[in-house]
C-alpha cells in the first residue's frame, strides 16, 4: 500500500514540475466580447519586436518596427513576413491589413514606426511551438530587414507559442 501511495505522489509531483507555467506580457478579457486576449513580445532588437498574439481562436504574429527618418510608406495588406524556424523550415505569414507609419521625434531624431499584424494558422503556431523562431525577415520602407534571434529568445518563442495554443 505504501508503495502505491509513494508511486501516486511521485507521479503527481513530477507532473507539477513538468507543467508549463504560462506568463504573458498582456493577458486580459475583451470587455465587448468576453474573449481572452493574450500577447507575448519578443525584443529581437530595440527597434524590431515580434509578438505572438491570440484573441479567442484568432492567432496572429505582430511586428513592431522603428526606423530613423520620416518615412511615409504604408506596409500593404498581404505583405509577407518570413519566419525561419529552428528546424530550418520557413513559415510565411501575410499582413492582415494596411499598416501606416507613425512618426515621432526624440533626442533630436525623427523616427517612423509601423505596427503590422499577420494572421497565422493554429497549425503554423504549433510549428513555432515545436522549435521556435530563429530568423525573421520583412521588407519595410523599401529595406529588407533580416534578424536572427538568439537561441534563448528562440526558445522563448517556442514556449510562448505553446502557451497560446492552450485553451
State pLDDT tens for residues 9-46: 544 444 343 456 899 999 999 999 999 999 999 999 99
In a 3-state reduction of DSSP, which class is residue 161? Answer: helix
Does the structure show a pLDDT above 50 at 3? no
Number of domains in the chain: 1
Q: Is residue 145 in some structural domain?
A: yes
State pLDDT tens for residues 42-69: 999 999 999 999 999 999 999 999 999 9
Query: CB-hemisphere CA count at 13 Å for 95?
Result: 19
Q: Is residue 11 in some structural domain?
A: no
Interior CA angle at 131 toward 128 and 133, to 5°? 60
Q: Is residue 114 in some structural domain?
A: yes
pLDDT value for 19? 53
Q: What distance in Å separates the CA atoms of residue 92 and residue 115, rounded to the nearest whole number? A: 17
pLDDT value for 6? 44
Task: Outline where DSSP puts E strands in 4-132.
Answer: 26-29, 36-45, 48-55, 58-68, 80-85, 90-95, 102-106, 109-119
Q: Is residue 84 in some structural domain?
A: yes
Q: Is residue 1 in some structural domain?
A: no
pLDDT value for 106? 86
Domain that holds residue 76: 25-165
Contact 81, 95 (CB under 8 A): yes
Contact 16, 8 (CB under 8 A): no
Q: Is residue 14 in some structural domain?
A: no
State pLDDT tens for residues 127-160: 999 999 999 999 999 999 999 999 999 999 999 9
In a 3-state reduction of DSSP, which class is residue 22? Answer: coil
**pLDDT bucket at 114, cuts 50 / 70 / 90:** very high
Amino acid at each position: 500500500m505504501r508503495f502505491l501511495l509513494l508511486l501516486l505522489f511521485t507521479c503527481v509531483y513530477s507532473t507539477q514540475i513538468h507543467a508549463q507555467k504560462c506568463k504573458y506580457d498582456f493577458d486580459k478579457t475583451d470587455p465587448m466580447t468576453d474573449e481572452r486576449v493574450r500577447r507575448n513580445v519578443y525584443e529581437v532588437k530595440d527597434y524590431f519586436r515580434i509578438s505572438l498574439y491570440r484573441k479567442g481562436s484568432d492567432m496572429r504574429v505582430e511586428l513592431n518596427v522603428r526606423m530613423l527618418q520620416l518615412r511615409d510608406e504604408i506596409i500593404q495588406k498581404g505583405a509577407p513576413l518570413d519566419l525561419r524556424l529552428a528546424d530550418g523550415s520557413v513559415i510565411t505569414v501575410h499582413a492582415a491589413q494596411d499598416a501606416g507609419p507613425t512618426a515621432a521625434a526624440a533626442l533630436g531624431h525623427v523616427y517612423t514606426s509601423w505596427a503590422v499584424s499577420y494572421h497565422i494558422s493554429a497549425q503554423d503556431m504549433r510549428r513555432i511551438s515545436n522549435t521556435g523562431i530563429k530568423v525573421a525577415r520583412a521588407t519595410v520602407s523599401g529595406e529588407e530587414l533580416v534578424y536572427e534571434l538568439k537561441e534563448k529568445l528562440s526558445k522563448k518563442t517556442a514556449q510562448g507559442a505553446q502557451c497560446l495554443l492552450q485553451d
